[in-house]
């Protein structure tokens, strides 16, 4: 079954490769589908039983520092990815954010800030919801520490993606400047 909102968003920008200011637009083929898919994978992985090593069954090699659970890197990576997907989806979903809403943005990047904030809030909310769902399962439990790690991962994902995007933009500008000589 198709989603009319996704089809209209696709039709709106399917043939555009840039927004008139030299920047590439985000493809808008139902942008929230990737977010929903990633959230479903995170939920499924979070509700499965976690294997427990019996006391004395350790290999003697601890891959992480003392006190850091083996699940922490998975929380950080999963919620970083989820926040980046949600930020990209928000850019693709709302034309005012995507084009920088020239009347309200004045080129100061407010659209990117809104999209980044949306990504962080969506990923952190999914993480909190997952923790609530875990509280209803006998082999899992709610943990505020996990909620905090999820929020850190979500924030780190958007920040790292933003730094990477800025570095790519600077490099592209430098290449463009060299070509125009």
In the chain, where the domains are located: 28-47+68-179
CA–CA distance, 141 with 135 (Å, rounded to integer): 4
Tens of pLDDT, residues 135-158: 999 888 899 999 999 999 999 999
pLDDT digits (tens, 9 = 90+) for 77-126: 999 999 999 999 988 877 666 555 545 555 556 778 888 999 999 999 99
Both tokens assigned to 2: 């198709």
Report the C-alpha gap between 135 and 148 in whole angstroms: 16
């Amino acid at each position: 079954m198709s989603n009319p909102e996704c089809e209209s968003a696709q039709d709106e920008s399917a043939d555009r490769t840039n927004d008139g200011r030299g920047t590439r637009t985000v493809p808008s083929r139902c942008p929230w589908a990737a977010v929903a898919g990633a959230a479903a994978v995170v939920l499924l992985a979070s509700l499965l039983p976690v294997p427990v090593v019996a006391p004395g069954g350790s290999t003697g090699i601890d891959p992480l520092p003392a006190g850091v659970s083996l699940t922490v890197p998975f929380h950080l990576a999963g919620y970083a990815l989820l926040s980046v997907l949600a930020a990209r989806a928000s850019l693709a979903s709302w034309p005012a954010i995507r084009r920088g809403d020239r009347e309200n943005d004045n080129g100061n990047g407010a659209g990117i800030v809104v999209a980044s904030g949306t990504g962080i809030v969506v990923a952190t909310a999914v993480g909190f919801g997952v923790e609530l769902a875990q509280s209803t399962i006998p082999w899992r439990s709610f943990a505020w520490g996990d909620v905090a790690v999820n929020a850190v991962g979500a924030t780190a994902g958007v920040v790292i993606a933003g730094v990477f995007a800025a570095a790519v933009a600077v490099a592209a500008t430098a290449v463009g400047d060299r070509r125009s000589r």
